[in-house]
Structure formats: structure tokens, C-alpha cells
Amino acid sequence: MVTLWKYVGITPDAVIGHSLGEFATLCTAGVMSLSTCLYLAGRRAMLMAENCAAGTHAMQVVREGQEYVEKYLASMPQVGDSNGKGSTANYTSQICEITCINSAKSTVVSGSSKKIAVLQQQLTKSGVRTSVLKVSFAFHSSRMDAILDDYETEAERLSFMAPRVPIASTEL
């Protein structure tokens, strides 16, 4: 799409991307070539396939803000917790974790597929709108830690340039 726009004389003044779209953002800004962009995206997919079990973990969009979701997760019974209460950090490491804050009323939670199904059921009963994303892996979650060292090694071998246009970040 960007190539077509450039062909007809339209160039961006700035770029922004979210999640996998950040690859396209960096390519469009001139930070990396198209071949580098495709290589990194493909290598990431291969590393996930090799190191993460597809379908075992899921992602769910919760139509509430981060603070609400943190409090909700902290109030849920936890593995090995006799009184059913505990810190978000404890809950996060054992059950689910907030992995994306898309907006003031859109928070993504990741965890095992079973725990996400339970969480969705409980939130729905509470009147909170949710939707489980149709993805094979829990992107942005600690489940991706298994690929980080190899992915960093791959990226260090490649060439990157200074951006030719400003890049806005969606990271909070």
C-alpha cells in the first residue's frame, strides 16, 4: 500500500503502528528495508512455532480500563492461595496478565486458554463485554519470553537506519 501511495506522490509526514503493524511502520519510516521487515516478521513466527505451543494460551479483549481489570484480576481466587485474595503480580504470574492497553476502555488479558475461558465467563456474568481474539499464541505476554534471546540475536545481525520520517509510538 505504501509503495502505491509513493508511486502516486503521497508520502507520510509521520507514521504509527500497533503490534505487528510496527514492522510496517519501521519499514515505511526507512528504519529497515522491506526484505528485513519480512525476514523479522517471518523469523518471529518461526520462533513462536518452535518455542511456544499453539493454542495453549489465549488473548481476550476486556471492554474496561486497566485499573478495573487489575482490580478484577487481583480479587479472583489464585492457585495456592487459601484466602482467595492476593496481589496482581502473584495472580499475573500464575493465571493471567494484562498484555495490552489499547485505550481507556480496552484492555487485553492473556493467559492459558482454560483460564481465559473462565475469566470471560466471569466477566460476562458481571456485565462486562469481552471477546477472545482468534490467535494461535498469546502475543505480548510472558509466553513470548521463550523467543526473546534468539530473536534478539537475529535482529543484531541486521542493518537498521535512522528514520526518515517521525515515528509515533503506541507504547504507554
Write the DSSP string, the chain. Answer: -HHHHHHTT---S-EE--TTHHHHHHHHTTSS-HHHHHHHHHHHHHHHHHHS-TTSEEEEEESS-HHHHHHHHHHS--TT-TTS---HHHHHHHTEEEEEEEETTEEEEEEEHHHHHHHHHHHHHTT--EEE---SS-TTSGGGHHHHHHHHHHHHTS-----SS-EE----
Q: Which pLDDT does position 86 carry in this prediction?
A: 43
Q: Which pLDDT does position 100 carry in this prediction?
A: 92
Shared domain for 76 and 44, answered yes or no, is no
User: How far apart, in whole angstroms, are the C-alpha atoms of residue 33 and residue 17?
Assistant: 16
Torsion of Cα atoms, 102 then 106 then 111 then 117, to 10°: -150
Residue 140 lies in a domain: no
What does the pLDDT profile of the chain (172 residues) look like in tens digits?
888 998 999 999 999 999 889 999 999 999 999 999 999 999 999 999 999 989 999 999 999 999 999 999 988 765 434 444 444 444 444 579 999 999 999 999 999 999 999 899 999 999 999 999 999 999 889 889 999 999 999 999 999 999 999 999 887 6
Q: Which pLDDT does position 120 carry in this prediction?
A: 93
Residue 75 lies in a domain: yes
Q: Which pLDDT does position 89 carry in this prediction?
A: 43
Instruction: Output the domain CATH number for residue 122.
Output: 3.30.70.250
Shared domain for 48 and 61, answered yes or no, is no
Shared domain for 61 and 90, answered yes or no, is yes
Name the pTM for this structure. Answer: 0.79
Q: Which pLDDT does position 88 carry in this prediction?
A: 43
Shared domain for 47 and 66, answered yes or no, is no
Shared domain for 27 and 48, answered yes or no, is yes
Total number of domains in the chain? 2
Region for 140 from its dihedrals, namely left if φ exceeds 0, alpha if ψ lies in -120 to 50, beta otherwise: left
Q: Which pLDDT does position 1 carry in this prediction?
A: 86
Q: How many CA atoms lie within 13 A of 87 on its CB side?
A: 3
Q: Which pLDDT does position 138 carry in this prediction?
A: 92
Shared domain for 48 and 78, answered yes or no, is no
Shared domain for 20 and 71, answered yes or no, is no
Q: Which pLDDT does position 74 carry in this prediction?
A: 87
Shared domain for 32 and 69, answered yes or no, is no
Domain housing 15: 2-52+145-168
Q: Which pLDDT does position 90 carry in this prediction?
A: 40
User: How far apart, in whole angstroms, are the C-alpha atoms of residue 106 and residue 139?
Assistant: 16
Residue 84 lies in a domain: yes
Shared domain for 20 and 82, answered yes or no, is no
Residue 139 lies in a domain: no
Residue 29 lies in a domain: yes
